[in-house]
Amino acid sequence: MRVLVTGGAGFVGSNVVEFLDSRGHEVRVLDDLSAGARPSWWRTRAGPRCIEASVEDGPAVRRAARGVEAVVHLAAKPGVADSVAHPEVDFQTNVLGTFSVVDAARRGGVKSLIFASSGAVLAGAEPPLREDMAPAPRSPYGASKLYGEGITAAASVFGMVGISLRFANVYGPNCGHKKSVIALFLKRALAGQPLVVYGDGRQTRDFLYVDDVSVAVERALGASRPGVYHLGTGVETSVNELVKTVAAACGRQVPVERRPPRPGDAARSFVDLTSARRALRWTPKVGLEEGLRRTLDWMRPAQR
C-alpha cells in the first residue's frame, strides 16, 4: 500500500516506517522533528519520502496525503504530566492536529485511517482495560486521545475504515529522546544515576515492545471494518518490579530516588487483548525481559 505516517521520525513512528518499508509498502513520512529525533534514513535517497511539517499545518498535511491509500496518524504531544502542565499545547497538536490529518485524508480519498490512541482514555477505569468500558480520561492527554478516537470512528461517513489502536506503554529501540519510564530508567541506569519513582511505586503498567506495535499497525491497515483495539501484553507490572527487572537486565544495582506522585497518573493499567486477537489476529511476541535486552543492545553502542 501507499502509506503516509505522521510522526514517522519519532520513536514508534520510525519503527513502524522501517517495518512497513521492509514489508514492501510505499511509505511517506510527515514529521516536524520537534521531538528531537532524526532517523538515519531521514531525507536520504534510499529512505522513504520525508516531509518536514507539523500536523497543525493543514496545507502541508493535505499535500502529504495526496495519492496515498492509508494514513497512520502517530504524531502527538505525548504524556499525561506534560498535558496537565500545558493543556493548550496538548489541545493544539492532539486535537486540532488530528482534525487536520483526518480532513486531509478525507480530501485525498484515503481508504484506511489508523489512529494511535492510548489507555489514558480509560485512566479512571478498573483494569484490565477493555473496549466496551465507558471512557474515563483523567488528563487533557486522555481527553485529546478520546477526541481522536471519535473523529476516527466518524471518518466512516467519508468512506474510510477508521481504526484506533490504544497503545499500552511502548518501549524499544529509537527511544533515546523519550521521557517514558522504561526509556528514562534504562538511560539513567546505564549512566549510574538513580531511577526516579513517583509515589510508592506500586502503580502498574502494561509494557509493550515496539516491534509488536508495528505488526499490529500493518494488520490494522488490512482491516475491512472500523474498530477500537487495546494493544498490550495483558501483563501487569508495577514500577517497583520494573526497577528490579531493569537492574537485572543491566547487571548492576541501581539506586532509587522517591518523589511525590504526579497528578493524573493512573494507579493501575493493563489490557485485555481479546478483541485485538480476534479482529486483527494479533498477539504480542516479545516479553519484558527480552524487550529490555534488545533495547539495551540498541542503547549501549553509542550510549544514546
Query: Hey, where are the domains in the chain?
Result: 2-168+210-232+272-285
Res. 304: pLDDT tops 50: no
Contacts of 159 (CB under 8 A, 6+ apart): 109, 111
Res. 262: pLDDT tops 70: yes
Q: 3.40.50.300, 3.40.190.290, 3.40.50.720, 3.40.640.10: which CATH number matches 2-168+210-232+272-285?
A: 3.40.50.720
Neighbours of 277 (CB within 10 A): 14
φ, ψ at 287 (rounded to 5°) = -80, 170
Neighbours of 45 (CB within 10 A): 5
Write out pLDDT tens, residues 149-174.
999 999 999 999 999 999 999 999 99
147 catalytic per annotation? no
Q: Considering 141, 147, 209, 229, which one is annotated as catalytic? A: 141
Write out pLDDT tens, residues 75-131.
999 988 899 999 999 999 999 999 999 999 999 999 999 999 999 999 889 999 999
* C-alpha atoms less than 13 angstroms from C-alpha of 227 in its C-beta half-sphere: 20
Write out pLDDT tens, residues 198-227.
999 999 999 999 999 999 999 999 999 999
Percent composition of the chain: helix, strand, coil (DSSP 3-state, to 5): 40, 20, 40
